[in-house]
């Protein structure tokens, strides 16, 4: 199955985060979520952000997608300042947030409202393409309540990919799934990334997950959220999360993260 030419692979986005700080007012006073964070993500790069709860990882994704604004500093995509949401930047959350009154196909078609210039036939073509890409071509008319947790996340992934964003942010999308389902999705996501070459910014608590998926792993520490260290993952793809080589990277990164935070992150 092919796509309309307008939705074939675009040049993936390049992201720049420059000296960004962000705080929130809480009942306990001012909470500094991010402090002087700078990060560059190259075109087509898969970057994983790792750190304990409260270190600002999800806050950074909200700033990148334009759901929130920084107090200081700036963010840009391909040199253009990010000031609001845009269809060139997509988001996939931990919860699938699917519409229960729509079937699988209807949920993916809903995401294509971001492409109003497509004809109904083209939208259907695009939706079927991505459902086939995530392995759900035989479930396009299934109801959401009939799906397993892993299948729901596949639908959510297809919906996030269908508008063809140049940059995809993913906020712990596999955290609620069992280990076997996650392993299947790790393989699927690596395959999809290798075929579509999206720029991906992926948040996780799981160090092994980050090493399995990322070209680069960026470590955050909390109070306030800051980038502490980065690791380049020089392992061939596809990667097996249970491999000895991957475990070696995960061990080094876990030790480094513990030294920066004083806590032990997940290294499942």
pLDDT tens per residue across span 17-42: 999 999 988 777 788 899 999 999 99
Tens of pLDDT along 126-184? 999 999 989 999 999 999 999 998 999 999 999 999 888 889 999 999 988 888 889 99
Q: Confirm if 253 and 219 have CB atoms less than 8 A apart.
A: yes
Q: Enter the tokens of residue 57.
A: 């990882």
Q: Which of 11-15, 55-59, 192-196 is modeled with the greatest confidence?
A: 55-59
Q: Do residue 256 and residue 181 come from a single domain?
A: yes
User: Does residue 3 belong to any structural domain of this protein?
Assistant: no
Q: Do residue 67 and residue 186 come from a single domain?
A: yes
The number of folded domains in the chain is 2
- Identify the pLDDT of residue 25: 82
- Identify the pLDDT of residue 82: 94
User: Does residue 57 belong to any structural domain of this protein?
Assistant: yes
Q: Do residue 140 and residue 253 come from a single domain?
A: no
User: Does residue 233 belong to any structural domain of this protein?
Assistant: yes
Tens of pLDDT along 216-263? 999 999 889 999 999 999 999 999 999 999 999 999 999 999 888 766
Q: Confirm if 14 and 166 have CB atoms less than 8 A apart.
A: no
- Identify the pLDDT of residue 11: 66
Q: Do residue 185 and residue 159 come from a single domain?
A: no
Q: Do residue 111 and residue 84 come from a single domain?
A: no
User: Does residue 95 belong to any structural domain of this protein?
Assistant: no
Q: Do residue 193 and residue 206 come from a single domain?
A: yes
Strands 167-171 and 72-77: unpaired
Q: Do residue 153 and residue 170 come from a single domain?
A: no
Q: Do residue 74 and residue 190 come from a single domain?
A: yes
The answer on pLDDT for 6 being more than 60 is no
- Identify the pLDDT of residue 27: 76
Q: Do residue 182 and residue 238 come from a single domain?
A: yes
CATH of residue 230's domain is 3.40.50.300
Q: Among 66-75, 93-102, 136-145, 152-161, where is mean pLDDT lowest?
A: 93-102
Which residues sit opposite 92 in a β-bridge?
Answer: 170
Q: Roughly how many angstroms between the first and final C-alpha of the chain, as a whole number?
A: 37
User: Does residue 246 belong to any structural domain of this protein?
Assistant: yes
- Identify the pLDDT of residue 12: 74
- Identify the pLDDT of residue 61: 95
22 is in which domain, residue-wise? 13-88+166-268
Domain boundary among 123, 147, 164: 164
The answer on pLDDT for 47 being more than 60 is yes
- Identify the pLDDT of residue 175: 87
Q: Do residue 183 and residue 258 come from a single domain?
A: yes
User: Does residue 96 belong to any structural domain of this protein?
Assistant: no
Domain boundary among 164, 192, 219: 164
State pTM to two decimals. Answer: 0.90
Q: Do residue 181 and residue 265 come from a single domain?
A: yes
Q: Is 232 left (phi over 0), alpha (psi -120 to 50) or beta?
A: beta
* Residues recorded for the chain: 268
- Identify the pLDDT of residue 49: 97
Domain boundary among 164, 192, 214: 164
Q: How confident is the model at residue 211 (pLDDT cuts 50, 70, 90)?
A: very high
Q: Do residue 59 and residue 75 come from a single domain?
A: yes
User: Does residue 1 belong to any structural domain of this protein?
Assistant: no
4 or 204, higher pLDDT: 204
Q: In whole angstroms, give the CA distance from residue 250 to residue 267.
A: 7
């Amino acid at each position: 199955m092919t796509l309309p030419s307008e939705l074939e692979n675009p040049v993936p986005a390049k992201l720049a985060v420059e000296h960004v700080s962000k705080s929130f007012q809480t009942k306990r006073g001012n909470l500094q979520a991010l402090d002087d964070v700078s990060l560059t993500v190259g075109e087509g790069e898969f970057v994983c952000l790792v750190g304990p709860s409260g270190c600002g990882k999800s806050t950074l994704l909200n700033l990148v997608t334009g759901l929130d604004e920084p107090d200081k500093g700036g963010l840009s995509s391909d040199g253009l300042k990010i000031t609001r949401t845009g269809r060139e930047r997509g988001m996939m959350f931990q919860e699938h947030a699917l519409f229960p009154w729509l079937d699988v196909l209807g949920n993916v078609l809903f995401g294509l409202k971001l492409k109003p210039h497509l004809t109904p036939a083209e939208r259907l073509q695009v939706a079927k393409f991505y459902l086939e890409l995530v392995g759900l071509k035989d479930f396009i008319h299934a109801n959401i309540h009939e799906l397993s947790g892993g299948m729901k996340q596949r639908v959510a992934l297809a919906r996030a990919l269908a508008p063809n964003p140049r940059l995809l942010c993913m906020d712990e999308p596999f955290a609620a799934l069992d280990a076997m389902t996650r392993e299947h999705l790790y393989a699927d996501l690596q395959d999809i990334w290798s075929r579509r070459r999206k720029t991906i910014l992926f948040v996780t608590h799981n160090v092994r997950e980050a090493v399995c998926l990322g070209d680069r792993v960026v470590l955050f520490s909390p109070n306030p959220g800051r980038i502490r260290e980065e690791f380049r993952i020089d392992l061939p793809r596809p990667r097996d999360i249970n491999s000895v080589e991957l475990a070696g990277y995960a061990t080094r990164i876990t030790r480094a993260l513990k030294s920066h935070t004083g806590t032990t992150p997940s290294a499942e």
